[in-house]
Amino acid sequence: MKKISQAGKTLFILIPLLTLLSPHAGAWCGWEHRVIAGIAEQNLSPSARKRVKNILGPHTSMAAVSTWADFVRKFRPATAPWHYINYPLEMEEPDYDVMKTAEENIVFAIETLITLLKDPRIKGEKQEEALKFLIHFVGDIHQPLHCGKGEDRGGNEVPVSWREKLTNLHSVWDCCLSGGGDGSPALWATYLLSEVTAEERKRIMRGEPYDWMVESHRLAREFCYPRLFQCPAILGEQIHELSGQYASAAQPVVRRRLTEAGLRLAMILNDIFSE
């Protein structure tokens, strides 16, 4: 069994201005996380569905706990680095120093949580927390700027305009681009699944957290940042308005990432809780 580092053990023990401008500068917003969880729930095996229900309780859905990790982050700051990984944009893949940072990162977190949930000795509250963290982090790793560059903290320090209001690039990707925000997450989960063919599902439901991190980083490098400079600029050409052509181009990318996150979360849980 994979050895869990000391940093991993603390997961269950430790209780700039632009970031402050947005209340959501941390992860996919609640709506997006609930969509991801809803997609996963619709693709669980009977065995995984039963185990998840036993862990969370008969009346608690995966969607209901999908933002729990953001809530406890305020009180357990040691978990904060496990929501993301940042490395230079020009790098295809992170080097050893990035992967082995003292605080660890989102790839480490997901791998550690999978190991914990496969361990029959992990029960009760620790098992429940591991599942809730996993549900959230698999969503986060599919948000491109959670695997962005460190110089601007994954876009948190890149000022942009959204509907003529000042915010930052990270927050726009978290909350503004899916185009579904006010609709039912469960219905949107069903809708997004209906857009995916059986062959596409097979292609999506493969790989490991490291691969999904590289996908997100590539999107940050090839889409999130370059598209900025194609948008109208305000305030002396320093800040770009993203609610027009940028949003139109980004919407299908975001929806695809939500779908991929949900299907891959189901894949992980089906493997963990296979009979």
Q: State which residues form the domain around 194.
A: 6-272
pTM above 0.85, yes or no: yes
State the DSSP H helix or E strand holding residue 147, giving kind and residue range, or none if neither.
none
Tell me, what CATH number does 138's domain have?
1.10.575.10
Which tokens sit at 56?
């969370």
Cα distances (angstroms) measured from residue 209 to each of 80, 97, 108, 134, 180: 18, 18, 9, 11, 26
Each of the 275 residues of the chain gets a pLDDT tens digit; together they read: 444 444 444 333 322 323 333 333 345 689 999 999 999 999 999 999 999 999 999 999 999 999 999 999 999 999 999 999 999 999 888 887 788 777 789 999 999 999 999 999 999 999 999 999 999 999 999 999 999 998 999 999 999 999 989 999 999 999 889 877 667 999 999 999 999 999 999 999 999 999 999 999 999 999 999 998 888 777 666 789 998 899 999 999 999 999 999 999 999 999 999 97
60-90 in b/e form (b: 16+ CB < 10 A) is ebbbebbbbbbebbeebeebebbbbbbbebe
Answer whether 5's CB lies under 8 Å from 76's CB: no
Three-class DSSP category at 60: coil
| 59 found inside a domain | yes
The alpha carbon of 7 is separated from its chain's Cα centroid by a whole number of angstroms, namely 20
Residue 138 lies in a domain: yes
Domain for residue 145, yes or no? yes
Domain total for the chain? Answer: 1
Question: Per the domain annotation, does 1 fall within a domain?
Answer: no
Q: Are 179 and 255 in contact (CB under 8 A)?
A: yes
> What token pair was written down for 85?
């990984």
Tell me if 11 sits within 8 A of 111, measured CB to CB: no
Find out whether 11 and 133 touch, Cβ atoms under 8 Å.
yes
Quick one: pLDDT at residue 14? 27
